[in-house]
Amino acid sequence: MTTERFDETHMAAAIELAWGGLGRVEPNPMVGCLLVRDGRVIGRGYHEVYGQGHAEVNALADCAEAGQDPRGATAYVTLEPCCHQGKTPPCADALIAAGITRVVVAVVDPFEQVAGGGIERLRSAGIEVVTGVAVDAATEQLAAYLKRVRTGRPWVIAKWAMSIDGRIATASGQSQWITGASARREVHALRGRVDAIAVGMGTVVADDPLLTARPSGPRTLHRIIFAQTRVPALDRQLIQTATESPVWLIAGPQLSEADLRPLIDQGVDIVRCESVDPAAMIDEGLQRLGSKENPAGQPLTNLMIEGGGKLLGSFAAAGQIDECHVYIGGKLIGGQSAPGPVGDPGFAELTQSPSFQINQIDSFDNDVRIVYRRQN
């Protein structure tokens, strides 16, 4: 086996390890690490929980527990080792102290406190560093983190359930349930691993959603309402449970302090936007959510949009849908006035429309889920 193929094989294993941190490490990235010496894996680790040991440190600990000496080993890391003191010490220093002689990296970290600094520190210590191994697969895995670091905005997942003929409700507004119980359990699993779920006022009025994950996931789930010109009634489930699980209202400039005060009194946090245009308001809201200037005090990495059509239309117009989870139930609804998933303003020309590629297809009983990712 060539060195190049050997590196790719072990990096693929490190990428697979990294998935163990999904939904548990954000706003940090998922990272996996493999330690290999004389062709044999002597340590495995991944970033398991936000604020705790990174992948490299966990791999070294695994190595020690197995009674193995990491000196002279190669470390395969899916993201450049950090070189700054955060909630944990620098991983580059840990690799140097352990006597690692070669480090293979998939993706160079664009985070401003790293950005090549980890690689430079390793090389300054006389360690051979190779970058770009299995970079496409690792970049796909790290897509949400990379978008937030590079653009300051969270990764946006648009989710909807529709009939075979593309309707999300009947003409009279009935939508429960287009898909079956198994598909709905998968939706709750997705809710459990994202930072936030957002809906528009139309969905709040029509469906009175609770927007919780059942069972709850490892993260604090922030429930977000985009409100341009009207606010929820105080009897809505989201408002009634705001003190139990965070509810944020992304408020347009047309809403007054008098409109918002009753919601604040119920425990709702307000994120003010200055933009009147819906697409511009979406972009402004995402900038706030992706920064520390939000009620949580730390950036959100993943945001799921659950409706309705008007909100999805505004996100599409703003160019801020990164991934679509489309659930197709085995029903025909029909009717010219039955709504589709994405509303106005739409795109007048196909050349203006964003393109997505199939990332994954799953089936649940009589339903199908297709996951699309936006093409760059």
Write out the binding residues for NADP(+).
161, 177, 207, 308-314
Strand order in the sheet with 247-251: 269-272, 247-251, 222-227, 196-200, 302-305, 155-162, 323-328, 367-374, 356-364
**Strands 74-79 and 32-37, sheet pairing:** antiparallel
DSSP 4-58: HHHHHHHHHHHHHHHGGGTTTSTTSPP-EEEEEETTEEEEEEE--STTS--HHHH
Torsion of CA 179, 182, 187, 192, to 10 degrees: 160
Catalytically active residues are 56
Q: Which of 14, 6, 9 is nearest to 58 (CA)?
A: 14
Q: What is the 3-state secondary structure (H, E, C) of 305-345?
A: ECCCHHHHHHHHHCCCCCEEEEEECCCCCCCCCCCCCCCCC
Q: Which two tokens stand for residue 183?
A: 């598909």
Residues 194, 217: Cα–Cα separation, whole Å: 9
Residue 110 burial (C-beta neighbours within 10 Å; 0-12, 13-18, 19+): middle
Torsion of CA 300, 302, 307, 312, to 10 degrees: 100
Residues 260, 268: Cα–Cα separation, whole Å: 9
Give me the long-range contacts of 54-59 (CB less than 8 A, separation at least 24).
54/81, 54/82, 54/88, 54/91, 55/14, 55/17, 55/18, 55/31, 55/91, 56/31, 56/81, 56/91, 56/94, 56/95, 57/88, 57/91, 57/94, 58/33, 59/33, 59/34, 59/35
